[in-house]
Amino acid sequence: MTALVADGVTKRFGGLTALAAVSLDVQPGEVHGLIGPNGSGKTTLLNMLCGYYPVDEGAVRIGEEDLSRASVQRRAAVGIARTFQKPRLLPTQTVLENAMLGGWRDTRTGFLAAALSMPRVRAEQRELRDRAQAVLEGLGLGYALKRRAQLLDHAESRFLEIGRALVLRPRFVLLDEPAGGLTGAEIERLGIVIRTLRDCGIGVLLVEHHTEFVFGICDRVTTLNLGRMIRHGTPHEVRHDPEVIRVYLGS
Amino acid sequence: MSGTSLRPMAGSVAVLVALATLPWWAGDQYQIHLAALIAAWWILVAGLNLVVGFGGQLSIGHVGLLAIGAYAFAILAGRHDWSPWIALAASGGLGGVCGLLLGLPSLRLPGFYFAMATMAFALIVAELVLALGDLTGGGVGLSVPGFPEPFESPAGHYLLMLGIATIITWCAWNVARFPWGRALVAIRDNPVAAESVGVPVFRMKLAVFVASGVTAGLAGALFASLQSYITPDTFVFELGLFFFVCIIIGGRGSIAGPLAGTAILTALPELVAPLAKLGTLFYGLLLLAVVLLVPEGIGRLFQVILERLRPRETASPVLEPDAARLAAAIRRQERP
């Protein structure tokens, strides 16, 4: 099984070390939690796995493939998908079109083929639409396929972003605070979705502040503080670690 | 095909038939000339619309590409006696090459600086046309040949331009409705999200910019032969702003909107004499009105009206994921 690995990655912004030699691996079919106080480097690490920030030291790999220098697009192509803290959707496009955007890398046709509406382009479009629709219906968004994304409520936006990530056919999905702003019932439904991804063999990295949710759903949890890893283990181990309690959980 | 997509299609066919028969019902030659002019501008705007309206790249300098196409056609077909058809194709090709040369360094610039680069390009072209007098006739200008029979008459020339404009419109519509169009809108509205799903942002911007160069070159050639004489004064910088304004007034991310915008902005000052006196002031006032009252353009206005007419969605909005269906959907799209 090939894992998504951050191997001793370091990131500096000017004189500030945002991440210091942090290592972490996400296995296929596991939910890996990443917790820590604000400013501990969780989102920075996520951005480095996706390629938005280059690594200063260390490496990012999937299996043997070194992705440290790979572009964001290349990492999407090898199957790393993500969502954002604040959902980034296309407000004027429909829910279905937003999800279909996730399948961009399966588009093999060039500009001219598209402009001339070659049969291949239409077949691709059909296939993509069916695929996106099936994912959205699975997520419970089937009733909103034709709605413009700007009319969605917060939970719908979050689920649509997950849908877009899934249409990418990911091997790994990185979720940046997906429970933020959701009600208790909505967080439960989010849990159903994340467990389903895991059961389908997708590796999930879950950056989240909602610690009850994290400990309830994750197979393993990594805790960061001030850019350093302070504890890594099962939810039970992390939850009862005195250092984690001191800097983050409180007593 | 579903009933919803049949109606706009029937509408398009009706409009096309009306336009194609225009020479037989138009009041006078001038109206045909005006329609041909609209067709020329639309050929350019249709390509530019992919750059500005869909891709969100604010080019105000396409008049430079238009001038290049026009002069290329005048020189090749007029002075060197090339077949007008080959000269037309060469004008489009040259427009595309110039679009590539302009886009390569400038499309990485953030919005405002990109607009400035395109403006500088238009000004440079205008200066070069004057400076290279041996080639372009300088301030005196060049006479431009027409197309051979049956496209020689004003009506024939108009029908030729209508045919080309129809093909270009169809191509632009195809680009817009397939994944390319969605990726362009993503580049406009949320480049970070576009990257995250693997959209090669720069490469796509460059591709549509080159395409817009081709249509600008074609428009320039057709426009020049329509005018039968071109001078540097034909290609003033305001013309580049005019194309831009057609798209903004028509609405971003739409094809019908900018088409309507081009037709209205070209025809109104010509048909309503008092407006012609206002000149550029008219465009300014109209732009102000649209930006303040319907900032999303008149295309969006149509859409809102259509949405009002449609029945409301009645399905109960309960976000209830279905684990079994979701798993089936994910497994189904797994690669073998």
The domains located in chain B, with CATH, are: 3-313 (1.10.3470)
pLDDT for res A95:
95
Over range B250-266, report the average pLDDT.
90
Mean pLDDT of B276-290: 78
d(CA A37, CA A209) in angstroms, rounded, equals: 8
Q: Write the residue in A77, A116, A186 that is nearest to B198 by C-beta.
A: A77
pLDDT on residue B167:
96
Q: Smallest Cα–Cα separation from B114: which of B225, B209, B246, B253? A: B209
Query: Mean pLDDT across the stretch B265-289?
Result: 78
Query: Tell me, what's the pLDDT at B315?
Result: 55
Interface test with A, best of B206, B255, B326, B331 (most A CBs within 10 A): B326
A31 SS3 class: strand
For chain B, state the CA radius of gyration: 22
Q: Which pLDDT score, from 0 to 100, does residue B2 have? A: 41
Contact call for B179 and A107, based on CB within 8 A: yes
Per-residue CA distances from A152 to A56, A187, B202 (Å): 39, 17, 30
Domain spans of chain A, in order of start: 4-90+155-249
Residue A244 forms contact with B (CB below 8 Å): no
Mean pLDDT: which of A65-69, A172-176, B252-256 is highest?
A172-176
Q: Which residues of B touch A121 (CB under 8 A)?
A: 174, 178
Residue range A4-90+155-249, CATH number: 3.40.50.300
pLDDT over 90 (residue A197): yes
Mean pLDDT score, B144-162: 89
Exposure string of B258-294, with b = 16+ CB inside 10 Å and e = fewer, is bbbbbbbbbeebeeeeebeeeeeebbeebbeebeeee
- The answer to whether residue B1 scores a pLDDT higher than 50 is no
Beta strands in A65-219 (DSSP E): 65-66, 80-82, 172-176, 203-207
Position B200 scores a pLDDT of: 93
* CA atoms of B245 and B228, how far apart (whole Å): 26
Residues of B with CB below 8 A from A128's CB?
179
CA distance B198 to chain A (A): 4
**Residue B134 pLDDT grade (very low, low, confident, very high; cuts 50, 70, 90):** confident
Check residue A111 and give its pLDDT: 87
Q: What is the 3-state secondary structure (H, E, C) of A2-24?
A: CCEEEEEEEEEECCEEEEEEEEE
Taking the CA atoms of A190, A196, A199 and A202 in sequence, report the sign of the dihedral they define: negative
Lowest mean pLDDT among A232-241, B89-98, B266-275: B266-275
Are B330 and A156 within 8 A, CB to CB? Answer: no
The CA distance from B234 to A144, in Å, is: 50
- B134 token code pair: 């041996």
Q: Among the listed ranges B36-40, B165-169, B186-190, B267-271, which one has the minimum average pLDDT value?
A: B267-271
pLDDT tens profile B95-123: 999 999 999 999 999 889 999 999 999 99
Instruction: Choose the closest CB to B333 out of A92, A131, A155.
Output: A131
Asked whether the beta carbons of residue B333 and residue A90 sit closer than 8 angstroms, the reply is no
- Per-residue pLDDT of B52-67, as tens digits, reads 999 999 999 999 999 9
Q: Is the pLDDT of residue B3 over 60?
A: no
Question: Any chain B CB within 8 A of the CB of A89?
Answer: yes
How close B204 gets to chain A, by Cα (Å)? 9
Give the helix ranges, DSSP H, for chain B: 3-20, 22-25, 29-49, 62-73, 84-106, 111-131, 133-136, 154-177, 179-189, 191-196, 201-227, 237-250, 256-271, 273-278, 280-293, 297-309, 323-332
State residue B191's pLDDT score: 93
Instruction: Please indicate whether, in this complex, the C-beta atoms of B186 and A101 are within 8 angstroms of each other.
Output: yes
pLDDT of residue A251: 62
For residue B171, list chain A residues with Cβ-Cβ distance below 8 A: 115-116
The listed range with the strongest mean pLDDT (B23-27, B58-62, B264-268) is B58-62
Q: How many CB atoms lie within 10 A of CB B202?
A: 12
| pLDDT, chain A, mean | 92
Share of chain B above pLDDT 70, in %: 95
> 103-122 in A: which are within 8 Å (CB) of B?
103-105, 107, 109, 111, 114-117, 121
CB contacts of A105 in chain B (<8 Å) are 197-198
3-class state of residue A128 by DSSP? helix
Q: Which residue bears the tokens 């372009």? A: B136
The model's pLDDT over B286-305, given as tens digits with 9 standing for 90+, comes to: 888 888 887 778 777 777 78
Q: What is the pLDDT of residue B306?
A: 76
pLDDT at A145 exceeding the cut of 70? yes
**A76 close contact with B: CB closer than 8 A:** yes
Question: Could you give the angle at which helices B237-250 and B29-49 cross, rounded to 10 degrees?
Answer: 80
The phi, psi pair for B229, rounded to 5°, reads -155, 130
The predicted structure's pLDDT at residue B19: 86
Residue A29: which region, alpha, beta or left (left: phi > 0; alpha: psi -120 to 50)? left
User: Strand ranges (DSSP E) for chain A?
Assistant: 4-13, 16-26, 31-35, 57-62, 65-66, 80-82, 172-176, 203-207, 220-225, 228-233
The SS3 of residue A198 is helix
Tell me which of A125 and B277 has the higher pLDDT: A125
Of A50, A92, A164, the CB nearest to B253: A92
* DSSP for residue A106: G
Q: Do A138 and B318 touch (CB under 8 A)?
A: no
Q: Which of B192, B325, B327 sits opposite A199 (nearest CB)?
A: B327
Q: Does A189 touch chain B (CB under 8 A)?
A: yes
Mean pLDDT value across residues A114-133: 91
Residue B193: closest CA among chain A residues belongs to which residue? A88
Mind telling me how many Å the CA of A205 is from chain B's nearest CA? 16
